[in-house]
Amino acid sequence: MFNDKKILITGGTGSFGKKFVQIVLDNYKPEKLIIFSRDELKQFEMEQRWSSKKYPIQYMLGDVRDKERLIQAFQGIDYVVHAAALKQVPAAEHNPSEYIKTNVIGAINIIDAAKNNKVKKVVALSTDKACNPINLYGATKLCSDKLFVSANLYRDKDTTQFAVVRYGNVLGSRGSVIPFFKERAQTGVLPITDPRMTRFWITLDQAVYFVIKTMELSKGGEIFVPRIPSMKIVDLATAIGENCRHEIVGIRPGEKLHEVLIGEDDARNTVEFNECYIIQPNQEARDEFVKKDENACGKLCAEGTSYTSNNNVDWMTVDDLKRLIDTIADDYSIEKSRWSMEDVPQ
């Protein structure tokens, strides 16, 4: 799908963006891969690894808050992955207007720029915190999700298709708890917000492969949710500092005890597959989706279904976490696991 195409990724200098660049260059032959971000230092650092003289890469400075710059950047682009966001929960509580400008107004600008340039597809990255949000960051991402889903209501078959990917915490990404735990483990004490806390986890390479697959499968209006494992925060602490003492510090403002990828209300419009869930914008779209392929393995979610980190059937043990932590020692390492999504209607 990406061969001989122009692909742009917003926030392309982040953890996801760097992994996306590596995987696309390793597996496809794009005509051009545009890294759109506002940090000139990070672009300079990426250029040392992927020089625009050697690879089909173009680095563009810009901010998703600037619609005119986006319209300029999107000229001739086939596919857009929207990964730019402000995402630190505590910072959002103290700087709400800044998060709204980037995460909400930025989403509006992406939609307008994509339509203006007749981009084929846009996939926007979301977060588990957008489902039943209790913090401002989650609320801005929920608003962003709604904007991208609704953008499909006013299009015909030749205009841009918009979809969303929603997944949990990314193992080893910038801002992950793992580097923090590794540093604090040297003191012999690890701070635990609550011993009951659970979280969803996905690796960077799995996240990229999932996004690429959803870009292929999306028809517009879907929210794709991968089926991923959960882990207990105390197990992660044990995996990193086996002999460390745990200090209970309490849940921070805006933080959940357990995280939610699909709530009961979302589940009414959700189709379940072996490797993912697909949330449709409404029941009519859900029923139409199921009717299109009667032989597909997808099934409607049962009444009262929810997909939360504490009711998951797939759990990571301490040993599982130790092995995964070892794989992310190198920022550019790649695991081979990926989603095939063979049971999802094409």
3-state DSSP call for residue 265?
helix
Options 129, 213, 232, 256, the catalytic residue:
129
- Between CA 129 and CA 163, with CA 177 as vertex, the angle to 5 degrees is 35
3-state DSSP call for residue 259?
coil
Under 8 Å between Cβ of 214 and 155: no
At CB < 8 A and 24+ separation, what contacts does 53-60 make? 55/25, 56/30, 56/31, 56/32, 57/21, 57/32, 57/33, 58/32, 58/33, 58/34, 59/34, 59/35, 60/34, 60/35, 60/36
- Give dist(CA 303, CA 335) in Å, integer: 36
Q: How far is CA 312 from the centre of its chain?
A: 19
**Active-site residue 256, yes or no?**
no
| Strand stretches in 283-325, DSSP E | 299-300, 307-308
Backbone angles phi, psi at 110, to 5 degrees: -60, -45
Catalytic residues: 129
